Amino acid sequence: DTAVSQTPKYLVTQMGNDKSIKCEQNLGHDTMYWYKQDSKKFLKIMFSYNNKELIINETVPNRFSPKSPDKAHLNLHINSLELGDSAVYFCASSQEHAESHYEQYFGPGTRLTVT
């Protein structure tokens, strides 16, 4: 069974469109994340979210918004897509423990190409 799954795996779309990427985890974790990995392979956190709070990386444009219908899902909505949004987006989850977190489990990634 896949622990963290994402759909779609590939997404090709035009500038200006609005798109969503879905993420689901079946690990029972209480925290989920979205990361962006650009062409230089640098992995940057965009959001972390649990049932208590949403932490947003201040560098993320407000065109990006996470939506969590329940504890096992964290979807990423992107409005008015731009060429610079082309990247691989990874969803991840972990379990919070005291003031630390155990390791994160990543989904397989969604390769977004904006034309």
Contact residues for other proteins, defined by CB under 8 A: 31, 33, 35, 41-45, 48, 53, 55, 90, 96, 99-101, 103-109
CB of 37 to other proteins, least distance (A): 9
Counting beta carbons within 10 angstroms of the beta carbon of residue 70, is it exposed (0 to 12), middle (13 to 18) or buried (19 or more)? exposed
- Grouping H, G, I as helix, E, B as strand and the rest as coil, residue 27 is coil
Q: Which position has the token pair 């919070």?
A: 96
CB of 14 to other proteins, least distance (A): 24
Q: Which is nearer to other proteins, 56 or 72 (CB)?
A: 56
